Amino acid sequence: MAVGTLFGGILEFFQLSDDINISSTRYFYSPEVNFSGGSLLPTDQTVYGFSALCATDALLYSVLIADKDPNQFNKICSFDWKGNEIAKYQTDCLVFNLCASDTDTNRLYAIAISQEKGFYLVSFDLE
């Protein structure tokens, strides 16, 4: 199992056998936030991290914003289950959510968004 933070960029990998144990942690950006009324709020220094994750048995795929502008979600990264980055892709669209298949390992599907099209389905050839 893996989780990624939106504020900052922290990616944690877990082993779920007899218990829940952290197997690795990757720190991309420090989570610069304010706390107010039980909520996290971004600051002028906040760098946004992960907005979506999906996984196969072999890889974890993520939408990584990596910017102070939260609307820059056009970068996809893949990681192995030890937390090592395998590849980084720049897309020509804003990626809202991801879906990967164990059987079609060279293709990644996503929901993209634009003002002209609204939400729409896209696929990426990963070769």
For residue 15, what are its two tokens?
């082993």
- pLDDT, one tens digit per residue, over 21-51 is 999 999 999 999 999 999 999 999 999 999 9
- The model scores a pTM over 0.75: yes
Q: Which of 61, 58, 57 is nearest to 109 (CA)?
A: 61
Q: Is 9 within 8 Å of 27 (Cβ atoms)?
A: yes
